[in-house]
Chains A and B, each alone.
Chain A
Amino acid sequence: MQVTLRFHGHAIEYVPGGQETLTVDVPAGQTLRQILTTIGIQPQLFAAVVVGGHRRDLEYVPEPGDEVMLLSPAAGG
């Protein structure tokens, strides 16, 4: 199935190729953490996950066609 990952914030520089959007083919049933690890992105880089306007976390299992927003952590203060 296909899932679109949209990266936001300064952690984008660590996404291979510095791309803001990646569409990946993944087997169903994988968590976001597993998907990110498979494509070589450190899952811990992202502080928040938003799917369809709802807050999720890295244990979220995407559904086909999901657009997943991954947000970088911000520095406090």
Chain B
Amino acid sequence: MTIGGYAGKILRVNLTDGSWSTEKTSEELIRRFLGGRGFCAKMLYDELEPDVDPLGPENKVVIAPGPMTGLFLPSSGKVHMASKSPATGGYGDSNMGGHFGAEIKYAGYDAVVIEGAAKRPCYLVVEDDRVELRDASTWWGKGSFETEKELKQRLGEEFQIATIGPAGENVVRYACITHDFGRQAGRTGVGCVWGAKKLKAIAVRGTRSVPLADVRGALRKGRQMFEACFSKPGFKEWTPYGTAGVTDWINEIGAFPTKNFWTGYFEHYKNINGQALRERILVTDKGCFACPTPCGKYSRVREAQRCCYVEGPEYETIAMVGGNCLLDRIEDIAYANYLMDDLGIDTISGGNVIAFALECFEKGLITEEEAGRKLAFGDLDSVLYLARKIAYREGIGRILADGVKAAAERIGGGSERFAIHVKGLEWSGYESRYAPAMMLAYMTADIGAHHNRAWAITHDVAVGRDAIEGKAAKVIELQHIRPLFDTLGLCRLPWVEIGFELEHYAEMFPLVTGLDYTWEDLLLISERIWNVVRCFNVRHIPGFGRSWDYPPARFYEEPVPTGPAKGKLISRETLDRLLDDYYALRGWDKNGIPTPDKLRQLGLEELAADLQRRKA
């Protein structure tokens, strides 16, 4: 049978010899892993040997939209990108909006797999069946924005383009991929892997139709879904501010990363919130494919020496570059955002690393001589200076470009206590000492300290921030729902932002695909994928287990000094209790390794056998 929603083919491109091939998207892969994140996890697990160097030619990048990407339903513009992460050495992925994922589907592909490594800078052009690797030396060294603009001029407006900046070229471990002048696959250094492979950009254009199992049914349901979105009050109230709108609330509950996570409250937050953005710098709302509630805020800064257009800043950048580096003007954050996007640095990791460096300087662990100048929190020039040093791996940037974990190992002096990461991935925008569920979400997020797997902070607020009971169960529930969006190729924000009901997706799925999966079936697949990723980490990271799931010492040794969460910290015992609960509910052993029984129950016999072989 033909399963609807799928383009039907997977494209493999080998950069080493310039060859490419296509294969039929296997029905087994679809039935067990759906697409997007599921394809990424399973293909990387199967195809990468444990000793693969993340920066070597044996590493691969899987770029996969999902079965619902590019369709007529709210916010269907997502694409997943994954590889063995140079930031963590484990499984790494990142999710991106815009129009790139939809275009891949329309070009006829359910995934694009990049293999090998080129000798000279190149870029990939895919136009339906035409696949071509071209010389990219003209753009090597150029910023993301200029590269995208010039490639559009050369190839045509209808091409959707993703690029890396200088940071990716210089293998900064947290380099990002930029598309549509401001959408990023930011996390885990997928852009670094592109750079190591000398892949500057991918340009895609597709003219094909995506088959649907029930065209009339999917049209009817699509209309109903949009109508339901339009009727939500959040549709009108949330959209003007986008993710930046949450800045006030996060400060009011004392969870806003401030001064390298020293505290959870930034007194100047009204100067960098969604309202400040909208009133002072907004040019237009900018949405991804089929999105009725565009969180993209396209802005313009007009200040002497600092004029720029930039998409954002969105909440994460406001938190990590704003509060965390103590920048207290939305214009300053927007400019730093622009520079980091153009250089191709993930603003989450970038803001985190820069704040870490500023604290090291404050504590005398980095000297003025080592830094090349004086550095200070709250000083925009320090932030911009460090961003450039990192992107070009110059001076202190050589150390910082490897991320906070590696940098702390080099700098020493106890700096690992305030190197804010899990598994080597820098922490994102929620200070969680007084939010145990959110803390556990960061500890157990499969790629490292990222918020999007389980945004559990409302649960902490709702049921009590001192409570521990039930927190692990909530985190697990969210860790299955939220990544399911990444698997189907959708954006979760209509659900999170405006309360769009999950039932809609469950009803749409069979109309699109013809598969009679229930929502519970889909959640089971999401759990299956979660376990594949955990097994990937067990397989690839020597000694991986429980000890990799702890936060840095700052969070269990230093009480929050100011703000609404003042005096709170999370004890080591609480962290242990949270992990014990979590592993038990997941069916993992005390060391956080999936048990063979659990894997078999999830239909992952091959992984159970693999893990047992490795044990023996």
Q: Could you say which of A12, A44, A72, A74 has the most chain B C-beta atoms within 10 Å of its C-beta?
A: A74
Interface size band for B = 35 or more
B27 → chain A, closest Cβ, in Å?
A: 34
- A58 and B411 alpha carbons, distance in the complex (Å): 46
Q: Which residues from B are CB-within-8-Å of A47?
A: 245-246, 248-249
- A76 and B251 alpha carbons, distance in the complex (Å): 13
- A44 and B451 alpha carbons, distance in the complex (Å): 20
Query: What per-residue 1/0 map shows which CB atoms of A1-24 lie under 8 Å from chain B?
Result: 000001011111010000000000
Which chain A residues in 30-71 approach chain B with CB under 8 Å?
42, 44-45, 47-48, 50, 69, 71
A-contacting 9-mer, from B236-244, B505-513, B539-547, B569-577: B236-244
Q: Which residues from A are CB-within-8-Å of B493?
A: 74-75
Contact B246 A73 (CB under 8 A): yes
Query: What per-residue 1/0 map shows which CB atoms of B130-145 lie under 8 Å from chain A?
Result: 0000000000000000
Contact B246 A75 (CB under 8 A): yes
Contact B462 A9 (CB under 8 A): no
Contact A76 B462 (CB under 8 A): no
Contact B451 A77 (CB under 8 A): yes
User: How many interface residues does A have (CB within 8 Å)?
Assistant: 21
Q: Which residues from A are CB-within-8-Å of B224?
A: none
Contact A8 B319 (CB under 8 A): no
Contact A44 B461 (CB under 8 A): yes
Contact B461 A8 (CB under 8 A): no
A-contacting 9-mer, from B80-88, B495-503, B551-559: B495-503
Contact B237 A69 (CB under 8 A): yes
- How many A-B contacts are there with CB distance less than 8 Å? 85
Q: Contacts A42-B462, A71-B238, A74-B238 known; A10 to B233 CB distance under 8 Å?
A: no
Query: What per-residue 1/0 map shows which CB atoms of B445-469 lie under 8 Å from chain A?
Result: 0000001100100100111000000
Q: Contacts A8-B234, A10-B458 known; A74 to B496 CB distance under 8 Å?
A: yes
Contact A74 B497 (CB under 8 A): yes
- A69 and B499 alpha carbons, distance in the complex (Å): 13
- A50 and B235 alpha carbons, distance in the complex (Å): 13
Contact A76 B498 (CB under 8 A): no
Query: What per-residue 1/0 map shows which CB atoms of B480-498 lie under 8 Å from chain A?
Result: 0000000000000101111
Minimum CB distance partner of B464 in chain A: A42
Q: Within 8 Å of chain A (Cβ to Cβ): is B253? A: yes
Minimum CB distance partner of B502 in chain A: A10
- A11 and B428 alpha carbons, distance in the complex (Å): 22
Q: Which residues from B are CB-within-8-Å of A11?
A: 458, 462
Contact B497 A9 (CB under 8 A): yes
- A44 and B461 alpha carbons, distance in the complex (Å): 7
B233 → chain A, closest Cβ, in Å?
A: 5
- A77 and B94 alpha carbons, distance in the complex (Å): 11
- A47 and B315 alpha carbons, distance in the complex (Å): 14
- A74 and B495 alpha carbons, distance in the complex (Å): 9
Q: Within 8 Å of chain A (Cβ to Cβ): is B77? A: no
Q: Which residues from A are CB-within-8-Å of B461?
A: 42, 44-45
Contact B462 A45 (CB under 8 A): yes
* Contacting residue for B458 out of A8, A45, A48, A77, CB 8 A: A45
Q: Contacts A8-B232, A8-B233, A45-B462 known; A74 to B243 CB distance under 8 Å?
A: yes
* Contacting residue for B244 out of A6, A44, A76, CB 8 A: A76
- A71 and B240 alpha carbons, distance in the complex (Å): 14
Contact A10 B314 (CB under 8 A): no
A43 → chain B, closest Cβ, in Å?
A: 9
Contact B462 A14 (CB under 8 A): yes
Q: Which residues from A are CB-within-8-Å of B315?
A: 76-77
Measured CB to CB, the residues of B under 8 A from A are 232-234, 237-238, 243-246, 248-250, 252-253, 314-316, 318-319, 348, 428-429, 451-452, 455, 458, 461-463, 493, 495-499
Q: Which 3 A-B pairs have the closest CB atoms?
A: A76-B315, A76-B243, A77-B316
A-B contact pairs, 8 of them (CB 8 A): A14-B462, A42-B461, A47-B248, A72-B458, A73-B458, A74-B497, A76-B314, A77-B428
Besides A10-B495, A72-B234, A75-B452, 17 other CB < 8 A contacts? A45-B461, A48-B237, A48-B238, A48-B245, A72-B458, A73-B249, A73-B458, A74-B238, A74-B497, A76-B244, A76-B246, A76-B314, A76-B429, A76-B451, A77-B314, A77-B316, A77-B428
